[in-house]
Amino acid sequence: MRIEVAAIAAVLAVASPLRSLTVAAQSKDRGRELVEDVCTYCHNLDRLRGKELTRDEWRGMIKGMISEGAPVTDEEFSIILNYLAKNYGKKAAR
């Protein structure tokens, strides 16, 4: 029993810094991943290209897509919004 507890503690000690590294690496491209994943359920990304919407317009657009059925959590919403505002935003705002 004691050995098991020690083993679990050792695994956790090694795993948690690794895990936060992985999370950090993922979040860098998380916006892109989410958009490529979630926003291509119903149409391809050509729909997004050349739109150049403002951040507020993208906010409204994503909300509209959610009402179409896009599965976006609150957390994903802001990640997607940041990504779209930055990469598909108005040229002047870049």
Q: Which residues bind ligand HEC (CB under 6 A)?
A: 38-39, 41-43, 47-48, 51, 61-62, 65, 68-70, 72, 80, 84
Q: Minimum distance between the CB of residue 71 and ligand HEC, rounded to whole angstroms?
A: 7
Q: Minimum distance between the CB of residue 80 and ligand HEC, rounded to whole angstroms?
A: 5
Those residues with Cβ within 8 angstroms of residue 26's Cβ, 6 or more apart along the chain or in another chain: 33
Rounded Cα gap, residues 6 and 12, in angstroms: 10
Beta carbon nearer to ligand HEC, 2 or 67: 67
